Amino acid sequence: MPRPRSDDKRAAIMAAATRIIAAQGLGAATAAIAKEAGVSNGSLFTYFDTKADLLNQLYLELKGEMGAAALGGLRATDERAQMLHMWSRWMDWATANPQKRRTLAQLQVSDQITASTHESASHAMTGIGGILERSRANGPMRDAPAALVFTLCNALAEATIDYIIGDPDHADAHKQAGFDALWRMIG
């Protein structure tokens, strides 16, 4: 008879996976993740069928958390104000969660993340995509492929986040400069 699953143990495994992957990369052993979570390696596989299953679920969880943070409290009505809100919240989440950011960046390019997981993550980010599409509708990037625009926005965000982390005393100025560049690119 299988052991009952605990939400606390699953959360501990996900948190441990985030820390271990951020420190050691995607090649980290599941035994290291289990040890960090305070569970046996066998227990880890009670919650996740395979390491790939763990990575896919972790990717979805981190993307969902980042998306929820970016959209949280959104009340603005015009596109520029919505983009600024989303941008600011994204920067805040990424700088407050450096391990999650590092882990998410590795998972984003991993061949272990399935096409269906990427698609599910895209659906979870629909609100962000909608704001981006409305913001670029009349701008210089209106005819560019959406994936290219998102990739450019992400690259600009990563550079801005790096500057904020490297110079936290000027975080607000870096956040605003990054947004100004973003808006000139798409708005």
Domain boundaries, the chain: 49-186
Query: How is 73-140 classified by DSSP, letter by letter?
Result: T----SHHHHHHHHHHHHHHHHHH-HHHHHHHHHHHT-TTS-HHHHHHHHHHTHHHHHHHHHHHTTST
Question: What's the mean pLDDT in 74-97?
Answer: 92
Residue 1 banded pLDDT, cuts 50, 70, 90: very low
Specify the CATH number for 49-186; select among 1.10.357.10, 3.10.129.10, 2.60.120.1140, 3.40.50.300. 1.10.357.10
Residue 5 banded pLDDT, cuts 50, 70, 90: low
pLDDT tens digits for range 39-55: 998 899 999 999 999 99
- Give residue 125's pLDDT: 81
Burial 1-19 (b: 16+ CB within 10 A, else e): eeeeeeeebbebbbbbbbb
Question: What's the mean pLDDT in 81-102?
Answer: 95
pTM (2 d.p.): 0.88
**64: which 2 tokens?**
């969902």
pLDDT tens digits for range 7-33: 889 999 999 999 999 999 999 999 999
